[in-house]
Chains A and B, each alone.
Chain A
Amino acid sequence: MDPAFLNQLQRIVGAGGVLHDPLDVLTYECDGLPHLRMSPAAVVLPASAAEVHDVVRLCARARVPFVPRGHGTGLSGGALPVAGGVLIALSRLNRVLEVDIPNQRVTVEPGVTNLEITRQVAPFGYYYAPDPSSQQVCSIGGNVAENSGGAHCLKYGFTTHHVIGVDAVMPDGELVRIDGALTDAPGPDLLGLIVGSEGTLAIVTSITVRILRRPETVQTLLAAFDTIDAGGAAVSEIIGAGIIPAAVEMMDALAIRAAEAAVHPGFPETDTVLIVELDGPAAEVEALFEIVKDICRRCKATSIEVAADEAQRMRIWRGRKAAFAAMGRVSPNYYVQDGVVPRTKLPEVLNRIRDLERRSGLPIGNVFHAGDGNLHPLICYDERIPGQSDKAVEVAAEILSYCIDAGGSLTGEHGIGADKNTYMPQMFSAADLALMQRVRNALDPLGLCNPGKIFPTPRLCGEVPGPYRAHPVEKAGLAERM
């Protein structure tokens, strides 16, 4: 990278805020999706919104592409660096700026973790509803970028339903305030545009979120089923009965085994478990819980267990939330996919996935938000066995095509990122994609802000999509990737 440019970066964030030693930037080459890798030319660690502003302005002036990154836990390669570009890591922007309990609002910087917001307001009896499984580490800035959900978004909605205002640095370096604090702000819904744009339209530097009062009662039930069909039927019936649970989660045998090995949540050894959580006024929860139990029994649940206390409830959730990361205990590598199907199609798609598992020989675990039909198949493979990582990608592509066939979507909450942009044309027509591109070009005409994400991009000659593998030119030792 141009030393003059590095100098200018250092002038903004100080010498300790710019990393360009190959060893240091090596650790930034991937996020939570480690098979997509690319070393950035430099990593910048701004410590204030003003510094982010200056860095973006500098990049825009010098025409250097930049990629925002929180704590690097994304599962779609949304923070995958660009060769020769700058990675703007927001981990040092981790202050809670304002806790406004009477107005039920909290304003934080993007590097604050999701769980930290709840920690801040818990003493007052409040919490922040969206709860991605990585909530203890994922940054709220990343949540805004990916429009993260979580187990409880069935009842409470996604990040976009809880963000009420942001300060954002636009790709040209302009600092804007997009405020939805009023119930019906005039003008187009710019906030809706920014949330879920995967860091391609702006970098947010402060976020105001809504917090909710803790429900009076929360009850959690763990039901075991012999077949995935029975579990799926139970989910459909519960929701069909007009009950909106706070969460309905399903896990299959492989995922249960991994979670059990990691955090011992006390899951039964069975084919499928269903976690149903109801919250609200005690009388309502009590009454609805009986109905849920009845439905589970009718759907041939082999065991039904209700969490006796908060400790057991937390254990169940720890088991569910650790499930992805715990796959490291049963497989050397895994590839988590994120697709959505209409709830009623769950059993059908899940059986197709089981078929695929038998055909491909790769074990596939399933952990998913059953309530909204958001699947998270975990494809286990071993990258040391030649051909397995390619196979895993093929399997993932096939699963996504099942989702689209069933009238679903490519992603529920992890985003498209660099991982699934090649599948976009399967779901959207050329005109749909062109409209999205036009919006993007309007805000980022130079294409500097997180390029290569969401939209399919042409590849190098001889390059195939999927996990990193050496390009034929690299293999021949003729060129080196930065």
Chain B
Amino acid sequence: MTDGRAPRSADLSAVAQSAKADDAKGRAFDANHPPDPALIDKCVHCGFCLPSCPTYALWGEEMDSPRGRIYLMKGGLDGRAPMSAAFVRHFDACLGCMACVTACPSGVQYSPLIEATRGQIERRYDRSLADRVFRRAIFAIFPYPARMRLALAPLVALQAAGLPFDKLRASRARRGMQGPRDDRRAALSCLRSPAKRASYGEARRSAGGAEAAGPPSADRSAKEPVKKYDVERRTRRTRRKTLGISLCGFRGFCVVRDFFTRSKAVALRPKAIGLRPPGFFRHVRAMMRLAPRVTWKSLTARVPERTPAVGVKRMTVGVLTGCVQRLVFPNVNTATINVLSAEGCDVVAPRDQGCCGALSLHAGRLEDARCFARSTIATFDRAGVDRVAVNAAGCGSSMKEYGQLLADDPQWAERARAFSARVRDVTELVIELGEPRATRHPLHLRVAYQDACHLAHAQGIRQPPRDLLRSIPGIELLNLPEADMCCGSAGIYNLVEPDTAEQLGDRKARLIDSTKPDIVSTANPGCTLQLRAAASRLARHWPIRHPIELLDASLRGVEISDI
């Protein structure tokens, strides 16, 4: 025992000493898997990545650009940049959207560089207690649907009691913005009947010019004239009314609610990342703002384990139902299964599947990610499927990386490679299936498609979702500016860096709004939540749907609002 202990403590002190020596020399990294200098040397400092980087687009600061971050890594290796709070903040600010990888002509592999840097930061940098608690809580809850269900349950009660959070948000809509709820109701009611829908599209388009200056007016001209409230006055009056109700509990609730949901005006001057990370309550407030709409039905929804192909079978496809997806957007899973079976696939959705490990992988918690990966591979191997269809971009990209993730594990390496080769994004799979079988009914909609980063940049899938949408008659695919720039969701980024995420969300919402869409489509649950929150801050309420939901609606010949 003592024999073992002595050298170990000596080792530890040696490690501590060398760490101290590193810090003293201004070296940010120790010898345990620092970012690979060979990969850093690939960067020739040309700057082609700058315009693609969301944080550079926001703040125009070199150290918050991919080139600057790589330069900081180099400084960290050379002993010119210590692991200081500022150093950590510049890496925390990175969304990991990998748009820079798409832009880089020199082929710099940013992904392993940022993962290694984040690994060092997690190991060597002392985050504040609040930060640590919050991050740990996320990783203890999100990847486990059962825990997630428990965590979301109180929301159901609150929302069922008539306090849906998006409405709270909307009631606090930006000054100068008007009656968002009416607008949303108008949009949805129009979508229910084709005739109204056509007129709604017309009305929105013709209102386009006026809308740029003022609030959305949808079909307000068609309905009885709505009183023009001065928003500030109206919210004040509503508040007075609610305070008037002699329920002290409710009043207290209002105060707490306002604290969590109040939105700050966007400063004209770009607000770059501060030296201090957001506080605990800021994190919680971000969570409340992003909180999805859930019901008992969505929380307990289950998709059938086996769905047979319609007509002659083309192949057997396994469906990953996801953690957030299955609880918050169960319709996406239903739509995925409907479409695949209509296109001639036997669809299997194994009951015992868990998290794919995407969250852990992207945050640099590689050991956790490997455990999740092994279990996911085992589940789908047992199900005996030809392809695994994924309808969440983040999950798909990590499942395609299983081969590399488990490369050092002799028992699993080969199996993981074979598994990754079978993984497809659902839009990719539908296109791969070839000639459509099921009849596509027309959907007369102007659709703005926003690329999910883990689809466009990590998986290189840009065309299939667009082709899929174009295959639906009547759909007008809009040309969305900066469609491949991150919306700010970026996995858990909008929870851990809410200020930056909101700046990006607002920018994205304004750009989407400039195209006057009837509906927004994106292929990742995180992006959907982020876009919804950003839209409601702008008092816009386009429905946001996965492309596969639109295709499903077209196949079934039903309305979007009925999905």
A-B contact pairs, 20 of them (CB 8 A): A23-B84, A23-B86, A26-B75, A26-B81, A27-B63, A32-B45, A32-B47, A45-B61, A47-B270, A71-B47, A91-B60, A91-B61, A91-B62, A92-B59, A92-B60, A262-B106, A322-B48, A325-B105, A328-B107, A333-B41
Among B48, B56, B271, the most chain A Cβ lie within 10 Å of the Cβ of B48
How far is B87's CA from A92's CA once the two chains are assembled, in angstroms? Answer: 22
Interface-located stretch among A14-22, A279-287, A414-422: A14-22
Which residues of A436-480 are within 8 A (CB) of B? none
> Which B residues fall within an 8 A CB radius of A?
41-48, 50-51, 56, 59-63, 67-68, 71-72, 75, 80-82, 84, 86-87, 90, 104-108, 268-272
B82, closest chain A residue (CB): A23
How far is B485's CA from A399's CA once the two chains are assembled, in angstroms? Answer: 42
Could you count the A-B residue pairs with CB atoms below 8 Å apart for me: how many are there? Answer: 113
How far is B106's CA from A34's CA once the two chains are assembled, in angstroms? Answer: 15
Please state if A334 and B46 are interface contacts (CB–CB under 8 Å): no
Which residues of A242-285 are within 8 A (CB) of B? 261-263
Please state if A322 and B47 are interface contacts (CB–CB under 8 Å): no
Please state if B272 and A32 are interface contacts (CB–CB under 8 Å): no
In the assembled complex, how far is the CB of residue B74 from the closest CB belonging to chain A, in whole angstroms?
A: 10
In the assembled complex, how far is the CB of residue B486 from the closest CB belonging to chain A, in whole angstroms?
A: 18
Please state if A327 and B44 are interface contacts (CB–CB under 8 Å): yes
Please state if A73 and B47 are interface contacts (CB–CB under 8 Å): yes
Please state if A327 and B61 are interface contacts (CB–CB under 8 Å): no
Please state if A21 and B43 are interface contacts (CB–CB under 8 Å): no
A-side binding surface: helix, strand, loop or mixed? loop
Please state if B270 and A16 are interface contacts (CB–CB under 8 Å): yes
Please state if A24 and B106 are interface contacts (CB–CB under 8 Å): no
In the assembled complex, how far is the CB of residue A299 from the closest CB belonging to chain B, in whole angstroms?
A: 30
Please state if B105 and A262 are interface contacts (CB–CB under 8 Å): yes
Among B42, B51, B272, the most chain A Cβ lie within 10 Å of the Cβ of B51
B270, closest chain A residue (CB): A92
Among A23, A28, A261, the most chain B Cβ lie within 10 Å of the Cβ of A23
How far is B267's CA from A17's CA once the two chains are assembled, in angstroms? Answer: 14
Which residues of chain A are near B105, meaning CB under 8 Å? 262-263, 322, 324-326, 328
How far is B61's CA from A26's CA once the two chains are assembled, in angstroms? Answer: 12
Please state if B81 and A23 are interface contacts (CB–CB under 8 Å): yes
- Say whether, besides A325-B105, A327-B106, A72 and B43 are in contact (CB < 8 Å): no
B42, closest chain A residue (CB): A328
How far is B106's CA from A325's CA once the two chains are assembled, in angstroms? Answer: 6
Among A91, A94, A138, A263, the most chain B Cβ lie within 10 Å of the Cβ of A91
Please state if B107 and A262 are interface contacts (CB–CB under 8 Å): yes
Contacts A27-B67, A325-B46, A327-B106 known; 15 new A-B pairs at CB < 8 A:
A19-B63, A23-B75, A27-B72, A47-B269, A47-B270, A71-B50, A89-B60, A263-B105, A324-B105, A325-B104, A328-B44, A328-B46, A328-B105, A332-B41, A333-B41
Does A365 lie at the interface of the complex (its beta carbon under 8 Å from any beta carbon of B)? no
Complex A-B, nearest 10 residue pairs according to Cβ-Cβ distance, in ascending order: A328-B106, A91-B60, A325-B105, A322-B105, A325-B46, A27-B68, A34-B45, A328-B44, A27-B63, A73-B47
- Say whether, besides A72-B47, A326-B105, A27 and B269 are in contact (CB < 8 Å): no
In the assembled complex, how far is the CB of residue B85 from the closest CB belonging to chain A, in whole angstroms?
A: 10
Which residues of chain B are near A72, meaning CB under 8 Å? 47, 62
- From B51, B82, B271, B272, A137 is in contact (CB under 8 Å) with B51
How far is B107's CA from A177's CA once the two chains are assembled, in angstroms? Answer: 43
Does A111 lie at the interface of the complex (its beta carbon under 8 Å from any beta carbon of B)? yes
Please state if B60 and A94 are interface contacts (CB–CB under 8 Å): yes
Which residues of chain A are near B106, meaning CB under 8 Å? 262, 325-329
Which residues of A312-357 are within 8 A (CB) of B? 322, 324-329, 332-334
Which residues of chain A are near B62, meaning CB under 8 Å? 27-28, 43, 72, 89, 91
Which residues of chain A are near B268, meaning CB under 8 Å? 47
Q: CB-defined interface of A27-69 with B at 8 Å, one 1/0 digit per residue?
A: 1101111100000000101010000000000000000000000
Does A136 lie at the interface of the complex (its beta carbon under 8 Å from any beta carbon of B)? yes
How far is B272's CA from A23's CA once the two chains are assembled, in angstroms? Answer: 15
Please state if A34 and B86 are interface contacts (CB–CB under 8 Å): no
Please state if A27 and B71 are interface contacts (CB–CB under 8 Å): yes
Please state if A24 and B50 are interface contacts (CB–CB under 8 Å): no
- Say whether, besides A23-B81, A28-B62, A263-B105, A73 and B46 are in contact (CB < 8 Å): yes
Please state if B48 and A136 are interface contacts (CB–CB under 8 Å): yes
How far is B50's CA from A89's CA once the two chains are assembled, in angstroms? Answer: 14
Does A113 lie at the interface of the complex (its beta carbon under 8 Å from any beta carbon of B)? yes
In the assembled complex, how far is the CB of residue B212 from the closest CB belonging to chain A, in whole angstroms?
A: 16
A30, closest chain B residue (CB): B45
How far is B105's CA from A332's CA once the two chains are assembled, in angstroms? Answer: 14
Does A134 lie at the interface of the complex (its beta carbon under 8 Å from any beta carbon of B)? yes
Please state if B46 and A324 are interface contacts (CB–CB under 8 Å): yes
Which residues of chain B are near A71, meaning CB under 8 Å? 47, 50
B63, closest chain A residue (CB): A27
- From B47, B67, B68, B80, A134 is in contact (CB under 8 Å) with B47
- From A28, A94, A334, B44 is in contact (CB under 8 Å) with A334
